[in-house]
Structure 1
Amino acid sequence: MKKQITLALSFVALLAAVLVVSCQKDAHVEPAQSSDVPAEVLAKIKAKGFSTEGARIVKGGYLVENDIILDDNTLNTESTSPNLRIAEVEQYRTSNLVTGLPRVITVKVTGLGTAFVQGTDLAISRYNALGLLITFQRITSGTANINIVGFYQAPSGGFITLGSAGFPSGGNPYNQISMNTHPNAYGTNPNVNYVGSVIQHEIGHCIGFRHTDYMNRAYSCGSGGNEGTAGVGAVLIPGTPSGPDANSWMLACSNGGNRTFNANDIVALNYLY
């Protein structure tokens, strides 16, 4: 079973208000029929560059491409910014980013076990070690910019969702990461490196990154196609390779272990932040 990273996209300027991408492990969120979705909505989904195959209505919006949720605000918002790409399998961002740099993003873990707290600290340390203009700090009280909470969901269609997050809105990071507490996701004794790697991925979505292999999800998931360019262009980052980008922290599906930034991820992060 493959673990897929589900992203909840939420931003006001293109993918901005509730887009969910899930980190799956040999997983697939079971699609319903496109006929569930009104024709005018399908047209908007297609116009954004996403596949309408298997699109269905879910809480908060419309599930497309098995792991992305688009809400009405996202579908009705025009994009004005280009996307970033690394090589043939691209380092790809949404049209919205976190602004007001330099900036400290606060993160709070609520109702989750020790492994999730330690995993959050690990993910934060990895970002902060890069010397970016955006840094992260875990807090235990008060209002955080990003809240990490749990949900409980069994495998479906051969995949299990590990976590979900969203895209920036109004210059702010998406405000929630949801982590699956089902035993089939991380086991009864979750590995901190594994949990931390998924949280690291979901933070990437929160600050505006889409999947590195958005052009072909089969690269990391074994199945699936192009996630679409969301109706905007792509810009190759100078100095990055022209071939597939293995082991990127933003690959659509998890390898079930410890995954952090590769050299091209660092180039992309420095380019944006």
Structure 2
Amino acid sequence: MKAVGIAGMASILITGCKKETNTVAQQAVVSDDVLAQIKSLGFSNTNVEKIDEGYLVEGDIILTPQDLATRNTVMAIRVANTEQYRTTNLVTGLPRNITVAISSQLPSSYTAVLDEMVRRYNAEGLRITFTRVSSGATITFAKANGSYLASSGFPDAAGNPYPTVKVNSRAIGTGTSTTFINYAATIFAHEVGHCIGFRHTDYMDRSYSCGGGYSNEGASTVGAINIPGTPTTAEPNSWMLACISANQNRPFDSYDKTALSYLYK
């Protein structure tokens, strides 16, 4: 199976690990100073893409110019190779309902995908809930292009979720089958996971889900804090693994539910 990164940190390449030939072209539009800043923050500066909001790193994490200028204290607790990790900032003001909306530029079938994502989170009985609206949402799923499936960012210091999930529908595809809806909902849920403060389950070594050599994503200024009660051994089914295979469905597994409950129940 060809694993492709979802978002948040990795090379979410449309053709998995085959897009190596584009590395030089992508980095050519990003200055050496910016690449050095990204590296100093603890993120990989390979395959960095310039986007409207700033820079896309590690496949699906958006760093704004403000992020690059931030020099917060790095918080990282590194206990094992595969655990659940969260960022320093979390969503506050709980209980809190987060509204979500989908751009009209995305396929109409994605409405069912968003509904499935909402259902998955709301079924957990968290103090964060989600409601789909037609406009004016807290988090908007917007159309995007590029060499990734989707991308998003992390909560801000004021406790608000990241406001945008950029979706590359050409890479994800479209459809109305249960298989497709579950696959795309896994991608949507993963990106929202970043928006509310989750990092990749295989943060310590993204090669676990993406293949290739050992790759630690780095704590950066956003933090990588282990969530108590999550496993210290490999977790193959987590919704927050860095990469995903085509048509794979990853509903919340037992440790995902532990992590969600610890932060938001």
TM-score relative to the length of structure 1: 0.80
Percent identity of equivalent pairs: 45
Q: Which residue is equivalent to 1:270?
A: 261
Q: Matches of residues 142-157 of structure 1 in structure 2 within 5 Å? A: 142-153=135-146
Question: Per the alignment, do residues 122 and 189 of structure 1 end up closer, same or farther by CA in structure 2, a change over 3 Å counting?
Answer: closer
Question: Per the alignment, do residues 238 and 66 of structure 1 end up closer, same or farther by CA in structure 2, a change over 3 Å counting?
Answer: closer
Q: Which residue is equivalent to 2:184?
A: 195
- Given that residues 150 and 181 in structure 1 are in contact (C-alpha distance below 8 angstroms), is that contact kept between their aligned partners in structure 2? yes
RMSD: 2.8
- Given that residues 148 and 178 in structure 1 are in contact (C-alpha distance below 8 angstroms), is that contact kept between their aligned partners in structure 2? yes
- Given that residues 12 and 58 in structure 2 are in contact (C-alpha distance below 8 angstroms), is that contact kept between their aligned partners in structure 1? no
The alignment partner of 1:31 has SS state of helix
Q: Which residue is equivalent to 1:5?
A: 6
- Given that residues 21 and 69 in structure 1 are in contact (C-alpha distance below 8 angstroms), is that contact kept between their aligned partners in structure 2? no
Question: Per the alignment, do residues 253 and 105 of structure 1 end up closer, same or farther by CA in structure 2, a change over 3 Å counting?
Answer: same
Q: Which residue is equivalent to 1:161?
A: 148
Structure 2 unaligned segments of length 5 or more: list them. Answer: none
- Given that residues 98 and 207 in structure 1 are in contact (C-alpha distance below 8 angstroms), is that contact kept between their aligned partners in structure 2? yes
Between stretches 221-230 and 79-88, larger displacement belongs to: 79-88
CA deviations 1:169-198 (Å, max 9, x no partner) are 23111111122221x522565611111111
- Given that residues 101 and 132 in structure 2 are in contact (C-alpha distance below 8 angstroms), is that contact kept between their aligned partners in structure 1? yes
Question: Per the alignment, do residues 218 and 120 of structure 1 end up closer, same or farther by CA in structure 2, a change over 3 Å counting?
Answer: same
Q: Which residue is equivalent to 1:251?
A: 241
Structure 1 unaligned segments of length 5 or more: list them. Answer: 8-19, 154-159
TM-score relative to the length of structure 2: 0.82
Q: Which has the higher helix share?
A: 2
Amino acid at match of 1:264: Y
Count the aligned residue pairs. 253
- Given that residues 84 and 91 in structure 1 are in contact (C-alpha distance below 8 angstroms), is that contact kept between their aligned partners in structure 2? no
Between stretches 117-126 and 106-115, larger displacement belongs to: 106-115
Q: Matches of residues 84-123 of structure 1 in structure 2 within 5 Å? A: 87-111=80-104, 112-123=106-117
The alignment partner of 2:243 has SS state of coil
Question: Per the alignment, do residues 62 and 164 of structure 1 end up closer, same or farther by CA in structure 2, a change over 3 Å counting?
Answer: closer
CA deviations 1:198-245 (Å, max 9, x no partner) are 111111011111111122221111125111111577554433322112
Q: Which has the higher strand share?
A: 1
